[in-house]
Structure formats: C-alpha cells, structure tokens
Amino acid sequence: MIAPRVGVVVLNCNGLAVLIPCLESLRRSDYGPLEICVVDNASTDGSPERVAADFPDVHLIRLPVNLGCSVGVNRGIRYLLREGADYVWILDNDVEVDPDCASRLVEFCEDRPDVGVCGPLIYYWEARDRLWFAGGYVDFDLLEADHCGTVEEFRSLPADRRYISGCALFVRSAVFERVGLIDERFFIYCNDTDFGLRAGRAGFNIEVVPEAVMFHKVSAFSGGEDARSPFKTYHILRSSMLFWRKHLDWWGFHRRWCAGHLGKWVNDIPYAWEDPAERERAKAVIDAVWYVLTARRNPLKRPPAPPWFVALMRQRPWLVAELMALRPSAFLHRRRTPP
C-alpha cells in the first residue's frame, strides 16, 4: 500500500531563531514522505538563505513583500496540491513536532475518512506539561471563539462549531477542493477559525488527535502570548470584526457583536491616549475600527483613520460604539451633549 503524500507548509517572516529548530524537528519525523515547503514573507534576517543552504530538500518560496499569513500559506498550499499531496499540514514556524506526530495524524485520518481537518495536542514549549490547545470552539450565543479546556469539551461540540489552530492545521486535500483555501481577507488571526467553520458546514468532521503531540513557542512573531503590541492589537481587532461580520448577517454583526463587544475595545481610548506607553495601541484600535467601518478590502494595508475620526474616538468613543450598534439613542444623546 502506498503511503499518503503529506505536504507541509511552514510560513516564515524573520523567524530564523525558531524556523531552524522547526525544520530540524520535521527532519526527525518517522513519516517518510513529507514534502516540506517554506513560504518566506520577505525576511531580512537571513532565514531564507539559511534554509536554502542547510535544507536543500525543502522547497522555498520567497515572496518579495510580506503578504500576510493567509496569502503566504495559500501559496504553499497551491504548490503542494499541484505536487499531488493527499494531506496538507500547515505549521507555524515557532513549533516543534514529536517524531511520530505526522504518522499519528495520517493514521487517524486514514481510519476516519469522514475527518477533513484535524490537529495534534499542542503544549507550551517552556512548560511541556502545560496544554496550550486541545481544540477550539465558536460560540454563536456569546459571540466568542476560544480554546477548549479539554479534548472532551471539544468533542462535545457539533462539527460546525469546531476549529483547529492554524499553527498545526492538518487538512485532507478534498477539503480545499470543496471549501476553497484560507480566506485572504484575514492578514493574520481568525483565518483558522473561519476555515474550521467552513469545513464543518461543508460536512467534514474536525478532530483533535490526542496521540499526536507538538510544542509551541506561543506568538513568537508578535512578541509572546501576552504581548500588547500595536501590531497584535490592530490585527486581532480587525480580524475579529471581519470574522463576525462574515459569519453573522449585517444586522447581527451590528446589533449583536458591535453592541456586545465593541465597547470593550474602544471605551478606554481617552485614558490610553494620555499614557505615552499606550497611545500607539489606542491608535491601532482606532485604525482597526476605521478599516472595517469604511468597508476596506485590502488586508495588506492599514489606512490611518482621518484626524476627525481620531478626535471623535478620543473624546466620545462610546458614541461610535453606539452608532455601530445601530442604537438610535446615540443620536439623541449626541444632540443633548453640548459641543
């Protein structure tokens, strides 16, 4: 029996320190026919040159500019599908996999033809007995998406409310044929959640394989799991808004998500703006809201909000939140408020 062909996409952007250990861990895999493709998003740290020199068997795609996570991953997926991959394994560059991880994922999928998407248990790199990911959920009542606490919790969910983290997304090629590739409107964040919903709605089961294990240097690219950088703030908010706008109807996005969640992001802008250490994060929130509010479509751009909108968000962010929630009382309140 011919073993299924597994292609691996590793996305990299100035990640030399974590990329090389990731590729070395893949080299130690006990699953023979792994075809590895590194997609490099315009790195300047020498990582593509190092890959070319030390990993000649790795297919390297060098992009001239940083096209973002989704576009970069899709370049690798297209290449591997053309090469005849039966499965595509999407990995972040800040992970290291156990030698039998790929074998266990393939074995699980071959035994379960109903499964279109799966992933391993993911532990923290620093604390290897501490679980980081055991499956993800989307809650359309609370309008939130997050990690499950246990595999049992994950498996209690319907398939169309599950997702697998994009740092270890193992996908049967037939899924891409039916639902398409990663949605490129998401520069980074929420693209894996969106893909999981689309696969589940198309009838594929989504599973976690507890026997397969990997380790994650969490958010190495964006400064760590608890980082509060303007980059991370901007993209998490922008992607979250795009995600819920996509998966709720227009009315539901404004009357439910904006009404229940937008204020959590914007209401402290006046205070954050006065703190030099927090001002850039406040500006990132304003720019993210402006991007979605003006229906921009280019995920590679961060158009700055105009001065009048910045001033409004600094002085009356609650007003913007109320207007986006389509609450008429906001207009009345505005008329009563002296200039």
Query: Could you tell me the residue ranges of all domains in the chain?
Result: 6-216, 230-336
**Scanning the structure block, which residue is given the tokens 């979250």?**
240
Which tokens is 134 given? Answer: 């055991």
Query: According to the model, what pLDDT value does residue 127 have?
Result: 87
- At 259-273, the pLDDT tens digits run 999 999 999 999 999
Mean pLDDT of the chain: 93
**Half-sphere exposure of 260 toward its Cβ, with a 13 Å CA cutoff?**
11
**Residue 338 predicted with pLDDT over 50:** no
For residue 212, give the nearest of 93, 89, 97, 133 by alpha carbon: 97
Which tokens is 117 given? Answer: 């998407």
Please check whether residue 241 is in contact with residue 293, taking contact to mean a CB–CB distance below 8 angstroms: no
Residue with the larger pLDDT of the pair 2 and 255: 255
- At 145-198, the pLDDT tens digits run 999 999 999 999 999 999 999 999 999 999 999 999 999 999 999 999 999 999
Give the CA distances from residue 60 to residues 7, 8, 95, 242, 292, in Å, rounded to whole numbers and listed in that order.
13, 12, 18, 31, 34
Query: According to the model, what pLDDT value does residue 339 have?
Result: 41
- At 273-332, the pLDDT tens digits run 999 999 999 999 999 999 999 988 898 999 999 999 999 999 999 999 999 999 876 555
Mean pLDDT of 189-213: 98
**Half-sphere exposure of 225 toward its Cβ, with a 13 Å CA cutoff?**
8
Q: Coil, helix or strand for 96?
A: strand
**Assigned architecture for domain 6-216:** Alpha-Beta Complex (3.90)
DSSP H or E run through 8: strand 6-12
Query: According to the model, what pLDDT value does residue 220 have?
Result: 53
With vertex at residue 80, the alpha carbon angle to CA 196 and CA 37, rounded to the nearest 5 degrees, is 95
Phi-psi label, residue 332: left if phi above 0, alpha if psi -120 to 50, beta otherwise: alpha
- At 57-86, the pLDDT tens digits run 999 999 999 999 999 999 999 999 999 999
Largest Cα–Cα separation, the chain = 78
